[in-house]
Amino acid sequence: MSIFPFAVDLKSNEQPNLAAEAGALASSATTHLAQALTTQRLTQKYATSMANNSALSLTLATRLWDPTVWSEAMQLEAAILRRLHTQGLNWRKGCTILLEDYEQLRQANTMSKLMEKQGNLISQFSQLLTSQTTDFIALLENIDVDYGYWASQKQSEPPAAQA
């Protein structure tokens, strides 16, 4: 006779679907491998671009005293600084909003409301961090492309225009 109001059976009658589990594991491994390969491909692409820009920079060394080169380089730098400044302002604005939401945690009157507010706060922080990281990497990519284009244009200018 059992002390529990229901029957307790320690032996499961159901056999696990091993084929389905193996397929799910293989699919997961394939997905992870594909993501790793994508990361490797993009890293190699970026490294190649950086090497190309480095080579272009070396060719610009001969035009070190050209006022046009200096002026345009300073304009590129100013544009980068403006973008970084804007990104910094957006970060501060996002953190201010998060701090205001954090102050509202005290207003929770039940544990479920507290957990909901904390989860929302964590989600908002994650979104802010993702947005800032994405914007920063996009800026790095833009710098890479813009600088490469500008440097290749300066390299291809005829010698008469370099004077």
Q: What is the mean pLDDT of each run of 10 residues along the chain (163 residues)?
A: 51 61 71 87 91 89 84 94 97 95 90 93 96 96 94 75 48
Chain-centroid distance, C-alpha 67: 36
Rounded distance, CA 82 to CA 80, Å? 5
Q: Which of 134, 33, 145, 42 is nearest to 87 (CA)?
A: 134
- pLDDT at residue 60 in the model: 85
Rounded distance, CA 102 to CA 111, Å? 16
Q: Are 132 and 87 in contact (CB under 8 A)?
A: yes
Q: Which of 142, 121, 126, 136 is nearest to 88 (CA)?
A: 136
CB atoms within 10 A of CB 121: 16
- pLDDT at residue 83 in the model: 96
Model pTM score: 0.71
- pLDDT at residue 24 in the model: 67
- Tokens of residue 137, six digits: 């990497």
- pLDDT at residue 25 in the model: 65
Q: What is the DSSP letter of 14?
A: P
Rounded distance, CA 39 to CA 94, Å? 29
- pLDDT at residue 162 in the model: 47
**Torsion angles phi and psi, residue 2, rounded to 5:** -90, 150
Rounded distance, CA 114 to CA 67, Å? 61
Q: Which of 153, 144, 151 is nearest to 57 (CA)?
A: 151
- pLDDT at residue 87 in the model: 97
- pLDDT at residue 7 in the model: 53
